[in-house]
A and B are shown apart, each in its own frame.
Chain A
């Protein structure tokens, strides 16, 4: 990796530091709220989801779409780098930004599950799947933003991925291999869990690598 790519990754962490810090803080506060009782759990879970989704969307909008819209992309592309370098730096930089927030929020959620006695440990597999889904979801947002040439298309990707969270929750939770053990005292890592996890990982890998093959080879980047 050349020095310009490394500097651009560091630049993403710098310019998005407040989104990342704000998102991570919101995630932790939501988990603390979720530890206060049943009502708190519901409200906390909702704000936790919102914090993760919002951070991902903000990174997609401000990190990719606005850079293009506000003509800062010209400045970045005038640096000694190729289009492939730019895509690499963007993918790695924004993924690193999201990962910081995601690791803090997901770690806090899993800690809550294992630490809080009133929350059954059986929900841990579903929590893991939800956390990984949020990561895969962000990668789809990022992949879409990098490829989309228009604001409308980026917005469409954001809307579809947001809908995807609700669809995931209401589709995966009732699966027999998940629902049966969700409220049990110990986590059960069923084959259903591993199948869903595999699907999420596949989406994650495809969304993360696609820009390296498609956007990085685009002939026109402005």
Chain B
């Protein structure tokens, strides 16, 4: 149990207008998990629970083997947390923040920090208040990465960034991933970024985990099947179809359990089987789950 970098079991958190319910997820060392959900799905709440910033009403949270929130101070020694919302202390410079982190974390890597300052085109003498959004995200990422943490928890780090800044941030994260003992939990509603760097995906919607699993398996299992029926012909009842759209004789099916057997069952009128990208899978998955739950 303690080998896992993150372990959440049956976590519940009630707010006045929102409930995070029965959230369970696991992150193994060296794993990169994309935590995907629409706005207001509960991504930030889940990550804040992991960081001990809020306390669950029920359930168990362990991060790096430490019980959260009780042992959060010890756990956070090895966690780098970056959030799009997070801001540095407005009256201090980036250089002061770097020195502050160096004084707290013995593992602080000064030369790596200097490299990141150059790579991100940041100025240590600049006051945090005058940093742009992109600079702020890069600065907080620098402060998190130069500590060489075992676990990175990133809450929508690329939200609001321009394409160039997003590319810089993602490239740096890809570099981090070369060290296989480190793990990353990366929340986003931008599925392109998640698809690029993650090896595991967890979907969350309306406070509940919808599905969690290996990214490649998601991409393999979810397919769009196009069928063109001749006049008078009917399509047999097929299993594992999450969506069906008909336009005259043209039928489009979405399945979450694709196999050659399913294609054969669909019969000879299948014209095309398409792979879906993560965004399409995410939308289809969320819509299907909402329908199943009657929401």
Over the window 68-101 of chain B, the binary record of Cβ atoms lying under 8 Å from chain A Cβ atoms (1 yes, 0 no) is 0100111111010101011111111000100010
Contact: B92 with A14, CB < 8 Å?
yes
Contact: B85 with A4, CB < 8 Å?
no
**A 1-49 contacts with B by CB, 8 A:** 2-4, 7, 11, 14-15
Residue A192 interfacial (CB < 8 Å): no
Q: How far is the CA of A15 from the CA of B91 in the complex (A)?
A: 6
> B54's contact among A14, A15, A219, by CB below 8 Å, is which?
A219
**Residues of chain A lying within 8 A (CB to CB) of residue B83:** 74
Interface size (B, Cβ < 8 Å)?
A: 29
A80 smallest CB distance to B (angstroms) = 4
Q: Show 29 residue pairs from A and B whose CB-CB distance is below 8 angstroms, ordered by the A residue.
A: A2-B73, A4-B73, A4-B104, A11-B92, A14-B96, A67-B89, A71-B86, A74-B83, A74-B85, A74-B86, A74-B87, A75-B86, A75-B89, A77-B52, A77-B53, A78-B51, A78-B79, A78-B81, A80-B73, A80-B77, A80-B104, A81-B76, A82-B52, A83-B69, A85-B73, A220-B55, A222-B48, A222-B53, A222-B54
Over the window 169-199 of chain A, the binary record of Cβ atoms lying under 8 Å from chain B Cβ atoms (1 yes, 0 no) is 0000000000000000000000000000000
Contact: B88 with A75, CB < 8 Å?
yes
- Nearest chain A residue, comparing its CB with the CB of B85: A71
Over the window 218-237 of chain B, the binary record of Cβ atoms lying under 8 Å from chain A Cβ atoms (1 yes, 0 no) is 00000000000000000000
Q: How far is the CA of A2 from the CA of B52 in the complex (A)?
A: 18
Contact: B90 with A78, CB < 8 Å?
no
> Which of the listed residues A67, A71, A76, A85 has the most CB atoms from chain B within 10 Å of its own CB?
A71
Residue B132 interfacial (CB < 8 Å): no
Q: How far is the CA of A198 from the CA of B69 in the complex (A)?
A: 39
**Residues of chain B lying within 8 A (CB to CB) of residue A2:** 73
Contact: B87 with A71, CB < 8 Å?
yes
- Nearest chain A residue, comparing its CB with the CB of B83: A74
Contact: B86 with A220, CB < 8 Å?
no
Over the window 55-89 of chain A, the binary record of Cβ atoms lying under 8 Å from chain B Cβ atoms (1 yes, 0 no) is 00000001000110011101111111111010000
Over the window 19-63 of chain B, the binary record of Cβ atoms lying under 8 Å from chain A Cβ atoms (1 yes, 0 no) is 000000000000000000000000000001001111100000000
**Residues of chain A lying within 8 A (CB to CB) of residue B198:** none
Residue A115 interfacial (CB < 8 Å): no
Contact: A70 with B104, CB < 8 Å?
no
Contact: B72 with A82, CB < 8 Å?
yes
Residue A168 interfacial (CB < 8 Å): no
Residue B255 interfacial (CB < 8 Å): no
Report the 6 A-B pairs with minimum CB-CB distance, sorted nearest first.
A219-B55, A78-B81, A80-B76, A220-B54, A74-B86, A80-B77
**Residues of chain B lying within 8 A (CB to CB) of residue A81:** 73, 76
Over the window 91-121 of chain B, the binary record of Cβ atoms lying under 8 Å from chain A Cβ atoms (1 yes, 0 no) is 1100010001001100000000000000000
Over the window 193-222 of chain A, the binary record of Cβ atoms lying under 8 Å from chain B Cβ atoms (1 yes, 0 no) is 000000000000000000000000001111
- Nearest chain A residue, comparing its CB with the CB of B128: A72
- Nearest chain A residue, comparing its CB with the CB of B78: A80
Q: How far is the CA of A78 from the CA of B152 in the complex (A)?
A: 11
**Residues of chain A lying within 8 A (CB to CB) of residue B92:** 11, 14-15
Q: How far is the CA of A185 from the CA of B81 in the complex (A)?
A: 63
> Which of the listed residues A79, A80, A220, A222 has the most CB atoms from chain B within 10 Å of its own CB?
A80
Given A221-B53, A222-B48, A222-B53, also A79-B89 (CB < 8 A): no
Contact: B54 with A221, CB < 8 Å?
yes
Residue B140 interfacial (CB < 8 Å): yes
**Residues of chain A lying within 8 A (CB to CB) of residue B85:** 71, 74
Q: How far is the CA of A80 from the CA of B87 in the complex (A)?
A: 17
Q: How far is the CA of A82 from the CA of B140 in the complex (A)?
A: 20
Given A79-B104, A219-B55, also A72-B73 (CB < 8 A): no
> B76's contact among A67, A72, A78, by CB below 8 Å, is which?
A78
Contact: B91 with A74, CB < 8 Å?
no
- Nearest chain A residue, comparing its CB with the CB of B97: A75
